[in-house]
Amino acid sequence: MSIDELSGQETADLKEWLTPILDAVGAEIVVSDDADAFKTVSNDTGCQQQVCKSHVQRNTDALVDTLITAIQERPDNSLSGIGITDEQAISDITQLQAIIHSRRVEDIDKLESLYLRYAKAVPPKKGAKHSIAYRMRNLFLDRWNLWTRLTFYRTWKDKDGNRILDGTNNGCERAIGWWIKERYRTIRGYKKARNAIGMSRLIAHAGNQLSYGLHLSSLLG
């Protein structure tokens, strides 16, 4: 495990930090969120990449909701400009959401078709906002390009022929939740440093009991 503070999400900084770790453990696969820097580092280091399906699903759901609201309440005529009705656009964006939730490898062809339908959307002029059609174009294109990384866990097998990836980086997320977020939520508001430190130590002690099949919330209840 390596816990470091990086100056930002610049690809060069991330590569400098991550490459020695990948070499040290002989990593073949990087499991990460959808940050573009991780994709570049994976390519540059020759690693395969699994993009966390939970992150992409949540982000897609939020974008779909935003776009449907924009289509219904703030139309800008960009869809009609490429021959697409509001009803068709809502159907397409809803289809994308379903595809992201099911993550069937063969649906890459559907993503390509969705992108091509919006490929002629006009990019904004300098300083102007992206139109609804152009935002949808970019979303379809991004998910189409992302697909092999998002569904990698469906096809990859270890040397024994087992599929052991679950498609998420939730191992990291759970550790952050148990050891960082839960400590913060519990100890915030303490006026004395000694009391905050004491509660933090108590949570650490309780967390050590997780190996016995207990959940941290029950230990703190």
Kindly report, residue by residue over 167-203, the tens digit of the pLDDT. 887 666 655 555 555 445 555 566 677 776 676 667 6
Report the pLDDT value the prediction gives residue 17, as an integer from 0 to 100. 85
Helix (H) or strand (E) holding 113: helix 108-118
- In the structure encoding, which two tokens stand for residue 161, read together? 């022929």
Residue 62: give the domain boundaries.
Answer: 54-149
Per-residue pLDDT, 116: 98
- Indicate the range of 73-77, 92-96, 194-198 predicted with least confidence: 194-198
User: For residue 164, is it within any domain?
Assistant: no
Q: Poorest-confidence range of 1-5, 81-85, 159-163, 194-198?
A: 1-5
Question: Are residues 68 and 145 both part of a single domain?
Answer: yes
Q: Can you tell me the distance from the alpha carbon of 69 to that of 197, in angstroms, rounded to the nearest whole number?
A: 46
Q: What percent of the chain has pLDDT over 70?
A: 74
CB 56 within 8 A of CB 34: yes
Res 16: pLDDT: 86
Q: What is the mean pLDDT of the chain?
A: 84
Name, in order, each residue with C-beta under 8 angstroms of 75's C-beta and a sequence gap of 6 or more. Answer: 86, 132
At 95 the pLDDT is 98
Q: Domain count of the chain?
A: 3
Q: Quote the percentage of the chain above a pLDDT of 90.
A: 47
Band (37; pLDDT cuts 50, 70, 90): confident
220 has a pLDDT exceeding 80: no
Within-domain flag for 181: yes
Number of continuous H segments (helices) and E segments (strands) in the chain: 11, 2
Note whether 137 and 70 are same-domain residues: yes
Identify whether residues 25 and 58 lie together within a single domain.
no
Dihedral of CA 50/53/56/60: which sign? positive
- Identity of the residue numbered 172: C
Q: Is the same domain home to 27 and 76? A: no
CB 133 within 8 A of CB 81: yes
47 and 72 inside one domain: no
Asked if residue 60 and residue 38 are part of one domain, the reply reads: no
Residue 39 tokens, joined: 């994709």
Tens-digit pLDDT profile for residues 131-166 = 999 999 999 999 999 999 999 999 998 888 888 888
Q: Which backbone phi and psi does 129 adopt, to 5 degrees?
A: -80, 155
Same domain, yes or no: 137 and 69: yes
> Above 70 in pLDDT, residue 77?
yes
Integer Cα distance of 77 and 124 in angstroms: 14
Does the pLDDT value for residue 87 go beyond 90? Answer: yes
> Does position 213 have pLDDT exceeding 80, yes or no?
no
Q: Rounded to the nearest 10 degrees, what angle do helices 86-102 and 53-73 cross at?
A: 170
User: 42, 8, 14: which is closest to 28 by C-alpha?
Assistant: 42
| Per-residue burial over 87-101, b = 16 or more CB atoms within 10 Å of its CB, e = otherwise | eebbebbeebbebbe
Better-predicted residue by pLDDT, 33 or 90: 90
Is 110 in the same domain as 195?
A: no
Residue 159: how many CB atoms within 10 A of its CB?
5
pTM of the model: 0.74
The answer to whether residue 158 is domain-embedded is no
- The predicted pLDDT at position 32 comes to 84
